[in-house]
Amino acid sequence: MKNFFRVALVSIVALTLLVPAVSFAQETIKVGIILPTTGEKAKFGEIEKKSFEMALEEINAAGGANGKKIEFVYEDDTGRPDVARSAAEKLITKDKVVMLGGGYGSSETFAIAGVAQQSGIPFLVATGSDDKITEMKWDYVFRINPPVSEYPKALESFLTDVVKPKTAAILYENTNFGSSGSKSFQKTCEDIGIKVVMSEGYQSGGGDFKPLLVKVKQANPDLVYMISYLMDASLLMNQSMELKLNPKLFVGGGAGFTLPEFGQNAGKASQMVFSATLWYQTLPYPGAADYYNKFVKRYNMDTEYHGAEGYASAYVIADALKRAKAVTPDDVRESLAQTDMMTVFGPVKFVAYEKMANQNKLPTYLVQWIDGKLEMVWPKETATKPYSYPIEWEKIWK
């Protein structure tokens, strides 16, 4: 009997000692990801969340962060800054995440960034592009994508080398993203000798842009540049077609003009529309084409630069967690600051330049909707198809 109790006691002690080891082996590292999964920006949130999820499965299958599983805790900001702020606070105080990621709309991203900085929690911005997000020089805020002021860089050379427009109209939604982008494009126009005959904001989500577009028609610009999310982008082009606007070209400032749904919603009104973009699947970045093909096969839908930002962000997060001395916010922030890696979205290294800090620097590109497909058309050395210009809108819209 004594031997029985001795064996039982040894077994209990062994099991007691084993439990912490098992718990440690199963420990997960929580990272908060904030995206708009409902509301008018939900299509952007959907493509990014799917990309985050796909990347995370690959990362954890390969061992996670030094053997620890990474867990993404998602929150929906609904496209509203106040909701985004509350989501960030909840993830930090209740879920005890070690860092934050995501951030789509600029206004929401700025709200998240303020909470992250105040709380001393690192935040890797995937998409929010208002310049001031990294101009604040917050040491806990990093951005993988270019700021909105750099979106038209490829367009600038296309305008000076090919189109040579004399006048432009700028239409933008009244948000941080739209206002910042319109100011920077107006400066671009001034620098290359294009007269801005009209620059006007509008309330996002409006159903009737015809009064605004009538003003554009009266101004008769060579170029119409629009900074809009998906539904507004589609309506602007459909109503431009109805009013028979006839500029030399329509150009979108990224955002809604590159999503697959833009081509579906705008139909023939999307044809020959140009857009700034930050990525294309044929770029010579390792894994870019693989990511695109895997995404299409898995979800039966196309992806574009927003998805690539989410996918690459997941790998940057995992890399920072692996290299951190300890899984604490300060050590992760230090690790993130030292990031120097290649992703499907391009190289990622956070630097300070001009007014910005902790900002990744990448080239931008120009795409065009040709025969129902988004094609890379500029610069020439990266093009998947020659650009179509000049454009006969009446023929296309007939």
Model confidence band, residue 366 (pLDDT cutoffs 50, 70, 90): very high
Residues 211 and 261 in one domain: yes
Residues 100 and 212 in one domain: no
Residues 71 and 126 in one domain: yes
pLDDT above 90 as % of the chain: 90
Cα distances from 277 to residues 26, 155, 189, in angstroms, run 41, 10, 18
Residues 238 and 120 in one domain: no
pLDDT, residue 2, reads: 47
Q: State yes or no: pLDDT of 15 exceeds 70.
A: no
Is residue 189 a part of any domain in this protein?
Answer: yes
Number of Cβ within a 10 Å radius of residue 325: 10
pLDDT above 70 as % of the chain: 93
Answer whether 255's CB lies under 8 Å from 228's CB: yes
The residues near 310 (Cβ < 8 Å, ≥ 6 apart) are: 47, 48, 49, 50, 51, 52, 55, 102, 126, 127
Residues 393 and 268 in one domain: yes
For residue 205, the one-letter residue type is G
Residues 157 and 251 in one domain: yes
Residues 288 and 271 in one domain: no
Answer whether 73's CB lies under 8 Å from 28's CB: no
Residues 118 and 211 in one domain: no
Expressed as residue numbers, the domain containing 81 is 25-146+283-360
Is residue 196 a part of any domain in this protein?
Answer: yes
pLDDT, residue 176, reads: 87
3-state helix, strand, coil split of the chain in percent (to 5) is 50, 20, 30
49-106 pLDDT, tens digit each: 999 999 999 999 999 999 999 999 999 999 999 999 999 999 999 999 999 999 999 9
Residues 240 and 371 in one domain: yes
Mean pLDDT of the chain: 93
DSSP 59-107: HHHTTTBTTBEEEEEEEE-TT-HHHHHHHHHHHHHTS--SEEEE--SHH
Model confidence band, residue 200 (pLDDT cutoffs 50, 70, 90): very high
CATH number of the domain within which 229 lies:
3.40.50.2300
Residues 187 and 61 in one domain: no
DSSP 155-169: HHHHIIIII--SEEE
Give the residues across from 234 on adjacent strands. none
- The arithmetic mean of pLDDT across residues 129-134, rounded, is 96
The model scores a pTM over 0.85: yes
Is residue 6 a part of any domain in this protein?
Answer: no
139-191 pLDDT, tens digit each: 999 999 999 999 999 999 999 999 999 999 999 999 888 999 999 999 999 99
Q: Which helix (H) or strand (E) holds 115?
A: helix 106-119
Residues 266 and 201 in one domain: yes
Is residue 57 a part of any domain in this protein?
Answer: yes
Is residue 18 a part of any domain in this protein?
Answer: no
Is residue 59 a part of any domain in this protein?
Answer: yes
Residues 287 and 388 in one domain: no
Is residue 5 a part of any domain in this protein?
Answer: no
Number of domains the chain is built from: 2
Q: State yes or no: pLDDT of 35 exceeds 70.
A: yes
